[in-house]
Amino acid sequence: MAKRPAKSASTTSSGDSVKIHDQQLHRGTGGELHQFAEDGQAVLTTSQGAPVADDQNSLRVGPRGPLLVDDFHFREKIFHFDHERIPERVVHARGYGAHGFFETYESLSDVTRADVFQRAGEKTPVFVRFSTVAGNKGSADLARDVRGFAVKMYTKEGNWDLVGNNIPVFFIQDAIKFPDLIHAAKQEPDRAFPQAQTAHDNFWDFISLTPESMNMVMWIMSDRTIPRSLRFMEGFGVHTFRFVNAEDKSTFVKFHWKPKLGLQSVAWNEAVKINGADPDFHRRDLWNAIQTGNFPEWELAVQLFDQDFADSFDFDVLDPTKIIPEEILPVRPIGRLVLDRMPDNFFAETEQVAFMTQNVPPGIDFSNDPLLQGRNFSYLDTQLKRLGGPNFTHLPINAPKCPMHNFQQDGHMAMRNPVGRANYQPNSHGEGPRESPSHGYRHFPAEEQGQKVRLRPESFADHYSQARQFYISQTGAEQRHIAMALTFELSKVERVAIRERMISHLLNIDKTLAAIVAQKLGIQKMPPAADAAMPTRQDLEPSPALSIVERGPMRFEGRKLGVLIADGVDAKLLKTVTKAVVADKAVVELIAPKVGGVTADDGSFIEAHHMIDGGPSVLFDAVVLLTSLQAMDDLVKEAAARDFVADAFQHCKYIGYDQSSLPLLEKAGIAGQLDEGTVQLSGGKDVSAFIEELGKLRVWGREPSVKLGKASPPTV
């Protein structure tokens, strides 16, 4: 049959319609031609112009099967996204890393043949990179953001990259939506701001149109996204993986990193001020801890379960927007991670380290989690772009520490090549490595069947129940912070319709929360609750493991006490405080009117770490005021000194003070509000009791009633 000739497009002006292949097209303002769908919107196409039928789901085998390589739309979309920026990472650009080791507690040979888990007490070298997600390399550490928690273990059978976050769930269920998520979260493209913030229209527009994100919304609006230290946050593998033993038996596994020093975050107002005082706060904290021998430590814990548990659990274990509560499936500690050495050069190691989820040793395998499957495709492509070619594994930070043998050769910046005549196999020269069916990597032989479809399984459809469970698992203070965070973020959204759409989702999570945020935003009429694919379950019990406060350390170890001193300070009392804090394995730093230091009441000179302007109380976990009557006239005139006290009180920190400091408390406007967290110190007994209380970290009961009085103007 003869081909029908295409009808050429006429050179009409913008706004005219033309026909090509009998299809009605419309010419845009730039002269480009668009297809239009039934609702009048332009049809989404690939870069080759092929119209897209489904941009929400990757192509897979059946609704719960693995992704397929012939999904050209997904591959093109991820390919283009991975190559958007050089040289910094598109996401997780601001990072900080350290070397250390992983020590195995016991043999896990019954569930996995991974060499790293075969011998109790064995230590494996590691490199860990922590990061923010949305900000660029120059952004501040205390942005409200998810934190990356990526661990590279240099095992005897190759590198294992456990590339996770400090939050166990994610925004989306399918990797095909990742470019859209990050585009929406990053700076708006027409104005290039806001930097490292999600408080803008694009992000909340996308989120409010993506119900699967609602569990993650609760997590990111909680204090989890403003951690006090990288040392005080959890890490998660996020996805469901597989352990596979020597008999090829599979056990599902979820990975958790538990900080030995407990969880801790900061208040939002505190985060804002820390970013101004020290935008490198997290970097400096990790650096100082390791350099002073206070090595950060985490336990690796796992949730292990079989197919029967997966089938009976209330939610789909392949859904990356869901967790398995620890009260239902307890975590099992299997080893510890210790960071004990900083990189010799930041660029060579922290900046050039390449993590890839597909880097797993024999004995660890993947599930059909569609987000994990997409990440396995994406990360290699990303490294090729960032690091210039296929030989990024030759860089020392990326190179395995076990023997390597293959026939890969040449390419950009090749540091090694095969030796000998044969650079292929099989060969009859008797040269080179050969595959090993007995020792080599074997994928778990899962049976898969189903049609090639772009389909989200029905088991992924409950978007609100775990969001509600997370919210009701928080303490009252933490719930207040979630409401405050939502209010702040949505107050920066210009389009009222987006704010109302988010309120409609919150109604499906918690009506009181929705009402508080709506009232704070000045929404006069509550919108109806958003349509839900599945109703919110009311029977899920609170999970205390989801609360930072409930999982707090109950000790001051690893924290920092800031002591404001002045000329005439009681030297004996200062020594008593310092000795008690150091005995508690914490750090004392001194703040004075001049950075040089002060002269104590016994005539000794005491050097300070900070001057008042450069050492605000937001940098410390608790504060003590040890001044003198002779210095008080000058101190009460110092705005920075008054702010030091007022901020500490507003941020619900413990405050110790001596008798001479009472005028400063009065000038800070808190003299009439002293509570159990403000303790007068006069001797060793008072100090001991005060230090013991510091393990609680905050006096959250103070927060709802904090009213800072108006300080008197300084006299000149």
Largest Cα–Cα distance in the chain? 107
HSE (CB half, 13 Å, CA atoms) of 584?
28
Cβ-count burial of 344 within 10 angstroms (0-12 exposed, 13-18 middle, 19+ buried)?
Answer: exposed
Closest CA to 79 of 381, 386, 392: 381
User: For residue 522, what are its two tokens?
Assistant: 């000045």
Measure the CA–CA gap between 688 and 2, rounded to whole angstroms.
Answer: 95
Measure the CA–CA gap between 454 and 59, rounded to whole angstroms.
Answer: 5
Closest CA to 398 of 341, 336, 443, 356: 356
Catalytic residue status for 165: yes
Task: Evaluate whether 564 touches 638 at the Cβ level (below 8 Å).
Answer: no
Q: Break the chain down into helix, strand, coil percent, rounded to 5.
A: 30, 20, 50
Beta strand 95-104 with 332-341 is antiparallel
CA angle 238, 241, 245 (to 5 degrees): 150
Closest CA to 179 of 353, 55, 48: 55
3-state SS record for 130-176 = EEECCCCCCCCCCCCCCEEEEEEEEECCEEEEEEEECCCCCCCCCHH
How many of the other CB atoms lie within 10 Å of CB of 495? 11
- Out of 57, 99, 159, 165, pick the active-site residue: 165
Whose structure tokens read 């705005």? 639
Task: Label residues 536-573 b or e (16+ Cβ within 10 Å = b).
Answer: beeebebbebbbbbebbbebbebbbbbbbbbbbbbbeb
Cβ-count burial of 113 within 10 angstroms (0-12 exposed, 13-18 middle, 19+ buried)?
Answer: buried
Distance of CA 449 to the CA centre of its chain: 35
How many of the other CB atoms lie within 10 Å of CB of 73? 21
Closest CA to 640 of 699, 591, 606: 591
Kind plus residue range of the DSSP H or E element containing 410: none
Helices (H) and strands (E) in the chain, counts: 18, 23
DSSP state, residue 40: S
Q: How far is CA 399 from CA 102, 144, 395, in A?
A: 18, 33, 6
Measure the CA–CA gap between 214 and 531, rounded to whole angstroms.
Answer: 13
HSE (CB half, 13 Å, CA atoms) of 633?
3
- Out of 57, 73, 92, 398, pick the active-site residue: 92
What is the residue type of 672?
Answer: G
Taking each helix axis as running N to C, give the angle between helix 178-185 and helix 370-387, from 0 to 180 degrees, rounded to the nearest 10.
Answer: 60
**DSSP alpha helices (H): ranges in 406-445?**
none
Closest CA to 623 of 404, 602, 670, 634: 670
DSSP 99-128: EEEEEE-S--TTT---GGGSSTT-EEEEEE
Catalytic residue status for 92: yes
- The residues annotated with a catalytic role in the active site are 92, 165
